[in-house]
Amino acid sequence: MNVTAQSVWENCLSFIKDNIQPQAYKTWFEPIKSVKLTDNSLSIQVPSKFFYEWLEEHYVKLLKVALTRELGENARLVYVIKMENTYGNKQPFTEKIPSSNRSHVQPQELDVPIKNKSPELKNPFVIPGIRNIKIESQLNPNYNFENFLEGDSNRLARSAGLAVANKPGGTSFNPLLVFGGVGLGKTHLAHAIGVEIKDKYPEKTVLYISAEKFTQQYIESVKKNTRNDFIHFYQLIDVLIIDDVQFFSGKTGTQDVFFHIFNHLHQNGKQVILTSDKAPVDMQDIEQRLLSRFKWGLSAELQSPDYETRVSILRNKLYRDGVEMPEEIIDYVAKNIKTNVRELEGAIISLIAQSSFNKKEVTLDLATQIVEKFVKNTKREVSIDYIQKVVSDYFQMDVSTLQSKTRKRHIVQARQLAMFFAKKFTKASLASIGSQIGKRDHATVLHACKTVDNLAETDKQFRKYIDDLTKKLSQ
């Protein structure tokens, strides 16, 4: 039989699969690729240094048993880390090497920082006595890991958050960027990491701030001519948590000052945690040098929770509030509110309130009324990204084709429909719609909306497009 890296790794995987939980297998082993086999050494490629550290910490014994079964007592495992640029220490059984296949990587993505082990950098803007100022962390202790329930949708982000909380600034995911849609727990996770760090390392200075507040502070510092004090203040933070970093979009001054603060913190082994409603690759109007720094660490996505996770969230909420509720009600709410955790908790709070204030028994009818209100309210909250995806899928094209400069008639019509629905279903300005749908200006959006209105009256087929898409977007 021809023994290849692929066949050896597949045999290892089938052994591993039988010995761990399905979710753990899916999260930590499915993304791994076998690379090559030389004598008794198997090379596998892992997506990041984070993966390597996690496997070494949690699964090295299992990996050793699996590989020894295939390659004998002298088996060795070599990790090839995608887009890595640093050598790690060799270990008896495993070894970490950077991937040499980086020809496709843009230069800025290799802009890897030099770890500065020297004492703290001398700062030209030292303000006497500033070190004695107590910085309030602005954290909400109610947002902790205990009530941030783990599920398939958040396992990677939650695990990374815990690892950062255990060793702030000492892991390879710095910055840790957590991204995902509305109400999926980005802010909760960011606070939970901060709360855990404060608990474990009371001496560390932790600060949570929204990107909007950070921007306001920066503008204020420019007005008052205290920009240097502003930078120096942030350079003293040990763990900086910035929420909704996409708010920096288009604000070049804020991006510039954050770039300098970020570099200083990173080089001095301080931890940066960011949240965003989109992945770095989808962020508009953020400088390339800043985006490349967002990619230094780990970007972990929070997705919509699956049914099992939704049930767990509801049960946990009821347990914390000391309320009992029939299983069929929990099941009904979990099956009907799928988009995000915030709505899920909101619905259960409404049910608890109704039953306690109005002395009503919680019945399936009451649950149906409340869930309907939530579902109706969220129908209007359709994002421009979602509209582009629905329209692209309907016309069987990629979103990138929809946004492209091409003048092909069917693509132009799809683009105009996306602009029309963005104006209809969102509160975004025409300029904002245009910039998100292929960097067009507001006049193009206005023209698109007029064209769609005209065609709707004169073209039967086009009218059908509008009706079909309206149904899809109103579901």
Q: H/E element holding 67?
A: helix 60-71
183 has binding-site annotation: yes
User: Can you tell me the distance from the alpha carbon of 55 to that of 77, in angstroms, rounded to the nearest whole number?
Assistant: 12
Q: How far is CA 182 from CA 192, 195, 247, 356, in A?
A: 18, 22, 14, 29
181 has binding-site annotation: no
Which DSSP string do the residues of 174-190 spell out, in sequence order? -SEEEEESTTSSHHHHH
Distance, CA of 292 to chain centre = 16
171-208 exposure pattern, b = at least 16 Cβ within 10 A, e = fewer: bbbbbbbbbbbebbbbbbbbbbbbbbbbeebeebbbbb
SS3 46: strand
Using one digit for the tens of pLDDT, what is the confidence trace for 242-256?
998 888 888 888 888
Q: H/E element holding 436?
A: helix 430-436
SS3 433: helix
Whole-prediction pTM: 0.54
* pLDDT of residue 306 exceeding 50: yes
309 has binding-site annotation: no
Using one digit for the tens of pLDDT, what is the confidence trace for 421-457?
999 888 778 888 998 999 899 889 999 999 999 999 9
CATH superfamily of 136-302: P-loop containing nucleotide triphosphate hydrolases (3.40.50.300)
> Among 3.90.850.10, 1.10.10.10, 1.10.730.10, 1.10.1750.10, what is the CATH number of 384-474?
1.10.1750.10
User: Can you tell me the distance from the alpha carbon of 432 to that of 443, in angstroms, rounded to the nearest whole number?
Assistant: 12
Q: Where in the chain is the domain with CATH 1.10.8.60?
A: 307-379
Q: Are 105 and 112 in contact (CB under 8 A)?
A: no
471 has binding-site annotation: no
> Angle at which helices 364-379 and 327-336 pack, to 10 degrees?
10
Which DSSP string do the residues of 251-264 spell out, in sequence order? -HHHHHHHHHHHHH
Q: Where in the chain is the domain with CATH 3.30.300.180?
A: 5-99
Using one digit for the tens of pLDDT, what is the confidence trace for 324-334?
777 777 777 87
CATH architecture of 307-379: Orthogonal Bundle (1.10)
Fold of 5-99: GMP Synthetase; Chain A, domain 3 (3.30.300)
Answer with the residue of higher pLDDT: 128 or 275.
275
* pLDDT of residue 37 exceeding 80: yes
